[in-house]
Amino acid sequence: MLVVPLIALGQDSKPIAKFSFEKETFQQNEPIYALDESYSPEGYKITKREWSCLINGKKKTGANLTKLLNNVKPGKIEVTLRVKDQRGIWS
């Protein structure tokens, strides 16, 4: 018996938002860079990125993570990413 995943039947899949940091901790005033590994399983181009950061209870959102994290005070920062592909579908 052959089992075919639903995605193979032509259903549109959402793009995958994926990122990693070059290290786990950073010093104050040190630039923070993330490696964006986002992709579309169907090969569509990623056209937009929306980063969200929860910093000391305040949420910041923008297209550029480095700018969002510029001059932040030491502490725990939660970072999320969502991406949109050329079809207009968000992750």
Tokens of 63: 């297209």
Query: In the predicted model, what is the mean pLDDT of residues 50-60?
Result: 92
**Which one, of 40, 42, 48, 39, lies nearest residue 19 by Cα?**
39
Spatial separation of the C-alpha atoms in residues 48 and 69, rounded to whole Å: 19
Average pLDDT over the chain, rounded to an integer: 86
Q: Which comes out higher in pLDDT, residue 19 or 29?
A: 19
Q: Which comes out higher in pLDDT, residue 17 or 71?
A: 17
pLDDT at 72: 81
Number of other residues whose CB lies within 10 A of the CB of residue 6: 8
Spatial separation of the C-alpha atoms in residues 89 and 91, rounded to whole Å: 7
| Contact criterion met (CB below 8 Å) for 51 and 62 | yes
